[in-house]
Chain A
Amino acid sequence: DAKTTQPTSMDCAEGRAANLPCNHSTISGNEYVYWYRQIHSQGPQYIIHGLKNNETNEMASLIITEDRKSSTLILPHATLRDTAVYYCIVRGSGSARQLTFGSGTQLTVLP
């Protein structure tokens, strides 16, 4: 599975949109982009995933560039409870393909 690169940390003001970038320049055609987050002392939580189209759900939006070499997770109105480590993961579509977590981005939402 392709490697991802994320900034180590980011801050965001409460109520503003949080835009978390991820580079995955070696992604191949059948690999999906997944986003998870881990709030301190909790288990990782699935947020969203996509292949090439932009996706939106109740938690976030995922914008994938046309060449699929990068993506952005958008939390439209960040709250203090969104403070967490956010992981961008590229995963192939075959069976038994595992999720490989990197070091992620520590997002801190500031009051």
Chain B
Amino acid sequence: DTAVSQTPKYLVTQMGNDKSIKCEQNLGHDTMYWYKQDSKKFLKIMFSYNNKELIINETVPNRFSPKSPDKAHLNLHINSLELGDSAVYFCASSQRQNTGELFFGEGSRLTVL
């Protein structure tokens, strides 16, 4: 039973399209995150939610909009996709917000053509 699951695993789309990546965790954790790993393999945090409330919002274009319908889900919607959005997006969760022990999903590889 996967602890942090993301869908889709692969996504290929054209520039200008809008797409969503979904994330669910079954660990009962309070905090969820989105990280982006670019082609140079650097992992950067994008957003963090604690109990459905946004607590970290790094310098990310406002084309990216996270949504947390409940504390087990954190979805990422991206509008007007650009070539530079191509990356692997990782969802993660942690038991609470003041811990560095995160559980990551397997990633969603987005390719924008």
Chain B residue with the shortest CB-CB distance to A101? B43
Question: In the complex the two chains form, is A43's CB within 8 Å of B98's CB?
Answer: no
Q: Which residue of B lies closest to A45 (CB)?
A: B104
With a cutoff of 8 Å between Cβ atoms, the chain B residues found around residue A85 in the complex are 41
Interface of B with A (CB < 8 Å)? 4, 41-45, 48, 50, 55-56, 58, 90, 92, 97-98, 100-107
How many residues does chain A have at the interface if contact means C-beta atoms less than 8 Å apart?
Answer: 23
- The total of Cβ contacts below 8 Å across the A-B interface reads 54
Contact: A95 with B98, CB < 8 Å?
Answer: yes
Q: A30: shortest Cβ distance to chain B, in Å? A: 12
- A46-B101, A94-B98 known; A100 and B106 CB under 8 Å? no
Q: Is A68 an interface residue (CB 8 A)?
A: no
Q: How far is the CA of A97 from the CA of B31 in the complex (A)?
A: 12
Q: Report 22 cross-chain contacts, Cβ distance below 8 Å, ordered by A residue.
A: A42-B106, A43-B4, A43-B92, A43-B107, A44-B92, A46-B101, A49-B100, A49-B101, A85-B41, A93-B98, A95-B97, A96-B48, A96-B55, A96-B56, A98-B45, A98-B58, A99-B45, A99-B102, A101-B42, A101-B43, A103-B41, A103-B42
